[in-house]
Amino acid sequence: MDLVSKYQGVVGRVFGAENSASSEDSYVERLLDRISNGVLAEDRRTAMAELQSVVAESRAAQLAFGAMGFPVLLSVLKEERDDTEMVCGALETLLRALTPIGHAKGLKNEVQPALLNSDLLSREIESISLLLSLLSEDDFYIRYYTLQLLTALLTNSQNRLQEAILTIPRGITRLMDMLMDREVIRNEALLLLTYLTREAEEIQKIVVFEGAFEKIFSIIKEEGGSEGGVVVQDCLELLNNLLRINASNQVLLRETIGFDPLISILKLRGSTYKFTQQKTINLLSVLETISLLINGSSEAEPKDANRLTTKTILVQKNVLDHLLMLGVESQWAPISVRCMALRCIGNLIVNHPKNLDALASKLLGEEPNVEAALNSILRIILRTSSMQEFIAADYVFKSFCEKNSDGQTMLASTLIPQPQSMTHAPLEEDVKMSFGSMLLRGLTLSENDGDLETCCRAASVLSHVLKDNIQCKERILRIELEAPMPSLGGPEPLMHRMVKYLALASSMNKKDAKSSASGILYVEPTILKLLIIWLSDCPSAVQCFLDSPPHLTYLLELISNPTSTVCIRGLAAVLLGECVIYNKCCDSGKDAFSIVDSLSQKVGLRSYLLKFDDIQKSFLFSSAKPALSHQPLMRSTAASMAEIEDIDENEATSQENEDHPMLASMFDSQFVSFVKSLEADIRENIVEIYSHPKSKVAVVPAEMEQKSGESDGDYIKQLKSFVEKQCSEIQDLLSRNATLAEDLSKTSGGGASQFEHKGSGGAERVQAETLRMKLQEASQRLEMLKVEKTKVESEASMYRNLAGKMESDLKSLSDAYNSLEQANFHLEKEVKALKSGGAIPVPDVEAIKAEARVEAQKESEAELNDLLVCLGQEQSKVERLIARLLELGEEDVEKLLEGVGDDMGMPEDEEEEDN
Q: For strand 480-481 and strand 371-372, is the pairing parallel, antiparallel, or unpaired?
A: unpaired
Distance CA(59)–CA(110), nearest Å, equals 11
404, 442, 451, 484 from 476: Cα distances, Å: 17, 15, 21, 20
Percent of the chain with pLDDT over 90: 31
> What pLDDT does 777 receive?
72
**Region of poorest pLDDT, from 304-313, 495-504, 765-774:** 765-774
If one counts every other C-beta atom within 10 angstroms of the C-beta of residue 520, the result is 20
**Separation of alpha carbons 494 and 471, rounded Å:** 16
Q: Categorize the per-residue pLDDT at 393 as very low, low, confident or very high, splitting at 50, 70 and 90.
A: very high
Name the E strands within 845-914.
none
Report for 675-684, 728-737, 757-766, 851-860: range of highest mean pLDDT: 675-684
Of 270-284, 606-620, 627-641, 820-834, minimum mean pLDDT range: 627-641
What is the rounded CA–CA span in Å between residue 437 and residue 425?
A: 12
Answer yes or no: is pLDDT of 515 > 50: no
Sorting pLDDT into bands at 50, 70 and 90, what band is 520?
low
Is this structure's pTM higher than 0.75? no
Mean per-residue pLDDT, 823-842: 73
The reported pLDDT for the residue numbered 297 is 65
pLDDT tens-digit readout, 887-906: 776 556 566 656 555 544 44
pLDDT band of 169, cuts 50, 70, 90: confident
| Model pLDDT, residue 327 | 92
Count of C-beta atoms within a 10 Å radius of residue 888: 12
- The average pLDDT across 165-181 equals 89
DSSP-derived pairing of the beta strands 492-493 and 363-364: unpaired
Whether omega before 843 lies within 30 degrees of 0, making that bond cis, reads no
Q: CB-side exposure of 512: number of CA atoms within 13 Å?
A: 5
Q: What pLDDT score does 887 carry?
A: 73
pLDDT at position 909, please?
47
The pLDDT score that the predictor gives to residue 862 is 61
Question: Which residues lie closer than 8 Å to 343 by C-beta, 6 or more apart?
Answer: 287, 291, 392, 395, 628, 630
Query: For residue 405, what pLDDT is reported?
Result: 94
Q: Is the pLDDT of residue 746 over 70?
A: no
Query: What average pLDDT does range 500-520 have in this prediction?
Result: 67
Burial bucket for residue 620 (CB in 10 Å: 0-12, 13-18, 19+): buried
Query: Is residue 43 scored above 70 in pLDDT?
Result: yes
pLDDT at 779: 76
Q: What is the per-residue pLDDT across 660-685, written as a single tens digit (0 to 9) for each? A: 777 788 888 888 889 989 988 998 88
**Model confidence at 395: pLDDT above 90:** yes
pLDDT at 17: 39
Q: What is the pLDDT of residue 288?
A: 94
Q: Is the pLDDT of residue 657 over 90?
A: no
pLDDT in tens, 68-97: 888 999 999 999 888 899 999 999 999 998
Per the model's pLDDT, the better-predicted residue between 369 and 122 turns out to be 122
- Look at 417 and 409; give whichever has higher pLDDT: 409
447 has pLDDT over 70: no
Three-state DSSP class for residue 731: helix
Q: Which residue has the higher pLDDT, 363 or 810?
A: 363
Distance (Å, whole) CA 191 – CA 238: 8
- Between 473 and 858, whose confidence is greater? 473
* Confidence at 430, pLDDT banded by 50, 70, 90: low
Residue type, 50: E
Tens digit of each residue's pLDDT (9 = 90 or more) over 690-742: 666 555 444 556 566 666 667 777 777 777 777 777 777 677 666 656 666 66
Mean per-residue pLDDT of the chain: 79
Kindly state the average pLDDT of the residues 811-837.
81
Q: How far apart are CA 847 and CA 206, in angstroms?
A: 121
What does the pLDDT read at residue 781? Answer: 75
Specify the pairing of strand 371-372 against strand 363-364.
antiparallel
The type of residue at 610 is: L
Q: What local confidence, expressed as pLDDT, does residue 891 receive?
A: 57
Q: Determine the pLDDT at residue 911.
A: 45
pLDDT at residue 847, as a whole number? 66
Euclidean distance between CA atoms 246 and 237, whole angstroms: 15
Confidence of residue 4 (pLDDT cuts 50, 70, 90): very low
- Is residue 839's pLDDT more than 70? no
Residue 912: is its pLDDT beyond 70? no
Q: What is the mean pLDDT of residues 9-32?
A: 60
Closest of 693, 621, 620, 686 to residue 658, by C-alpha:
620
